A and B are shown apart, each in its own frame.
Chain A
């Protein structure tokens, strides 16, 4: 398999007719296994829309999306849920952890939705927490933890089922500089171990830390540090 992700002439609009708002224009993109890619652009450039499509959250687009060389446009909602569960891990800007559930319970979610039993998943959860530096925090409640710790919990949840790739949408947006550096180090470490990571950011320092940078402006890829520039 050459490309993990391949987008061909991908277009996305909101609304219809005269009020239609064209967000993404003819996006061509290939992502290989093991990449650490930053997608940068100003607010409203379309980067979040792009990763929502890449992460199977949004299937309302035209063009072609091949994941592991298979088209996903015609997949049913159930199949897309399966892909989200098995193949992609999300890390959001504001962590998006379920309040009231412990760290352990939050990290367990992807495994439970994969159909695993509670007594089968303990070792996987503890391993994920150890990887992100939160061993011993299983019973803690996220709302009582710092921003950096919460983001680590979110990363643990994203990696616990060993997905094909991670999508991080402004993962350091809600963190101070020290925590931001720590989180980036964690991503780099995960990437070094073979995890493919796509990261959306408007912070050039974060982009610099990634191996590949794709720049988006007004819904078009205007620069790609791999050498391909959109027309």
Chain B
């Protein structure tokens, strides 16, 4: 019999007993759905973290931050303008190096309303079109250049302290021992934006950078930003080279060390950890597949037993033992592959439903999206076909070995 006819014959036989076929594939569908859900969440976490924190290969220039640390209280800054010039000279791929405030996103103590506490504060040097104001106004140009002490606060903070956004307008907040007047209330964003950077409008309070730092240009500091004309893959390597160079030739090499957080390396390790976790959990979920496979084998044995007459008829009209064996084996594999594909679809849907809940529960400010990869599909297809093959072969061989004369008595 031709291969395509064998496939059609197997399919027609399964159609005859639809209820039993459906019940058989439920176990496989559940097993595969569990595995795909876990893989989808694991791959989603990895992809989300990578997309957010790895170097962006679409950017023309890559940016890295090298910082100086002493491990003890020291009045000496790690970088001077001389270090900046050295880096720009020694590394031609560095388009620009500049001293940066260690961060524009701070946790500062202060008082808002009557509540004293620590508040997330972001410093901006320009307004963002994406920021949505609930009431009031944004900073005007004079404030951004270092004018009046004004502040924007988040709607959530305004409601907490003043019971409404409008009541917060005009009040004074004290941040890091300085008073600022609230001129606007904005809708708060997530902590991190789509590109993985800290979203300024994810903080509780916004201040003008020039106002907070007093508008002085930095001549020294503990943070150096470098803009590199290299690919995303090369960026970490080059930044590491710069770090090593500074540890040998930096102005403060003897009092501390220059460090660079290699996100690529961290992400690799993070991914490896996630892989271990998802692998273990998927393995446990895979045990259900083994049990489902036993169910398939059991069902096939029953099917062979019930269809003894049919086997005899087929042998009598010219089927070979191989034809019979292949028919039953293909039936088993069709059931498991079909169940696997149903499980794959459900697993994909389930992982997309679960990951937003996971994001909320983790409270990292990152929205994790499930990611169903080609690898997950290949695993689903391969495992379900494998289950059909392994658990279908014995019943299929039994069918082929039936004694024709005994059957047709």
Chain B residues, CB < 8 A from A140: none
B residues near A78, Cβ cutoff 8 Å: 320-322
Inter-chain contact A77/B317, CB cutoff 8 Å:
no
Report yes or no: B5 in contact with A118, Cβ–Cβ below 8 A.
Answer: yes
Closest to B312 in A: A96
Q: Which residues of A contact B405 (CB under 8 A)?
A: 52, 57-58
B293-338: which have CB < 8 Å to A? 309-310, 312-323
- Complexed CA–CA distance, A52 and B13 (Å): 27
Interface size class of B (residues with CB under 8 A): 20 to 34
Segment touching B, from A109-117, A172-180, A215-223: A109-117
Q: Closest CB of chain A to B316's CB: distance in Å?
A: 5
Q: Does B9 contact A (CB under 8 A)?
A: yes
A202 at interface, CB cutoff 8 A: no
Confirm or deny: B375 has a beta carbon within 8 angstroms of a beta carbon on chain A: no
Q: A57-B408, A114-B318, A157-B317 are in contact. Are A100 and B8 (CB under 8 A)?
A: no
What separation, in Å, do the CA atoms of A117 and B9 have in the docked complex?
A: 12
Interface size class of chain A, counting residues whose CB lies under 8 Å from the partner chain:
20 to 34
Q: Does A99 contact B (CB under 8 A)?
A: yes
Known: A97-B313, A115-B1, A117-B5. A58 touches B404 (CB 8 A): yes
Establish whether residues B317 and A113, one from each chain, have CB atoms under 8 Å apart when the complex forms: yes
What residues of B have a CB within 8 angstroms of the CB of A118 in the complex? 5, 8
- The answer to whether A98 touches B316 (Cβ under 8 A) is no
List residues of B (1-35) whose CB comes within 8 Å of A's CBs.
1-2, 4-5, 8-9, 12-13, 16-17
Partner of B408, one of A92, A110, A112, A157: A92
Interface residues of A in 78-123 (CB under 8 A from B): 78, 81-82, 84-86, 90, 92, 96-101, 105, 109-110, 112-118
Chain A residues positioned under 8 Å from B320 (CB to CB): 77-78, 81-82, 113
Determine whether the beta carbon of B8 is less than 8 Å from that of A81. Answer: no
B281 nearest CB across to chain A (Å): 42
- Complexed CA–CA distance, A81 and B17 (Å): 28
Q: Which residues of A contact B12 (CB under 8 A)?
A: 101, 105
Q: Are B318 and A90 in contact (CB under 8 A)?
A: no
In the bound complex, what is the Cα–Cα distance between A157 and B5 (angstroms)? Answer: 18
Whether A109 touches B16, Cβ cut-off 8 Å, given contacts A57-B405, A115-B2, A118-B8, is no
Contacts of B2 in A (CB 8 A): 112, 115-117
Min C-beta distance of B406 to chain A, whole Å:
10
A98 CA to B307 CA in the complex, in Å? 9
Contact with B along A26-61 (1 / 0, CB 8 A): 000000000000000000000000001001011000
Q: Would B16 and A81 count as touching, CB distance under 8 A?
A: no
What residues on A are CB-neighbors of B321 within 8 Å? 77-78, 81
* Cβ of B402 to closest chain A Cβ, rounded Å: 12
Task: Contact check, A57 vs B316: say whether CB atoms are below 8 A apart.
Answer: yes
With the chains together, A97 CA to B317 CA distance in Å?
11
Most B Cβ at <10 Å: residue of A58, A96, A97, A105: A96
Name the one of A96, A100, A113 contacting B319, with C-beta atoms under 8 angstroms. A113
Chain A positions within 8 Å of B310 at CB level: 98-99
Determine the distance from Cα of A50 to Cα of B404 in the docked complex, in whole angstroms. Answer: 15
Q: Is the CB of A84 within 8 A of B323?
A: no
Are the C-beta atoms of A100 and B5 separated by less than 8 Å? no
B316-A112 in contact (CB<8A): no
Residues of B within 8 A of A81 (CB): 315, 318-321, 323
**Does the CB pair A84–B317 fall under 8 Å?**
yes
**A202-221 interface bits toward B, Cβ cutoff 8 Å, 1 = contact, 0 = none:** 00000000000000000000
Contact B404 A96 (CB under 8 A): no
Cα A55 to Cα B317 with chains together (Å):
11
A82–B318 CA distance with the chains assembled, in angstroms: 6
**Centre residue among A55, A97, A99, A109 by max chain B CB count within 10 A:** A109
- In the complex, the answer to whether A96 meets B5 with C-beta atoms within 8 Å is no
Set of chain A residues within 8 Å of B312, measured between Cβ atoms: 96
| Measured CA separation A101–B14 after assembly (Å) | 11
Q: In angstroms, how far is the closest chain A Cβ from the Cβ of B314?
A: 7
Which residues from chain B contact A99 at a C-beta distance below 8 Å?
16, 310
Cβ–Cβ < 8 Å partners of A52 in chain B: 405, 408
CA A85 – CA B323 in complex, angstroms?
13
A203, B12: Cα distance in complex, Å: 38
Contacts of A84 in B (CB 8 A): 315-318
Least CB separation from B323: chain A residue: A113
Task: Kindly supply a per-residue 1/0 record for chain A positions 135-164, scoring 1 wherever the CB is within 8 Å of any chain B CB and 0 otherwise.
Answer: 000000000000000000000010000000
Interface residues of B in 381-409 (CB under 8 A from A): 404-405, 408
B313: nearest chain-A partner, CB-CB: A96
Contact B313 A85 (CB under 8 A): no
Q: For B307, give the chain A residue with the smallest CB separation.
A: A98
User: In whole angstroms, what is the CA distance A86 to B17 when docked?
Assistant: 31
Task: Verify A96–B309 contact, CB threshold 8 A.
Answer: yes
Other-chain contact of B5, A77, A101, A112 (Cβ < 8 Å): A112
**Across the interface, do A109 and B8 meet the contact criterion of CB distance under 8 Å?**
no
Known: A96-B312, A115-B2, A117-B2. A110 touches B8 (CB 8 A): no
- Distance, CA A57 to CA B402, complexed state (A): 12
Please name the 6 residue pairs, one residue from A and one from B, whose CB atoms are nearest each other, closest first. A85-B318, A100-B16, A113-B318, A81-B320, A110-B317, A58-B405
Q: Which of B's residues lie within 8 Å of A, judged by CB? A: 1-2, 4-5, 8-9, 12-13, 16-17, 309-310, 312-323, 404-405, 408
Q: Which residues of A come within 8 Å of B, CB atoms?
A: 52, 55, 57-58, 77-78, 81-82, 84-86, 90, 92, 96-101, 105, 109-110, 112-118, 157
Mind listing 26 A-B residue pairs with CB under 8 Å?
A52-B405, A57-B408, A58-B404, A78-B322, A81-B321, A82-B318, A84-B315, A84-B316, A90-B316, A90-B317, A96-B408, A98-B310, A98-B313, A100-B16, A101-B12, A109-B313, A110-B317, A110-B318, A112-B1, A113-B314, A113-B319, A114-B318, A115-B2, A116-B2, A117-B4, A157-B317
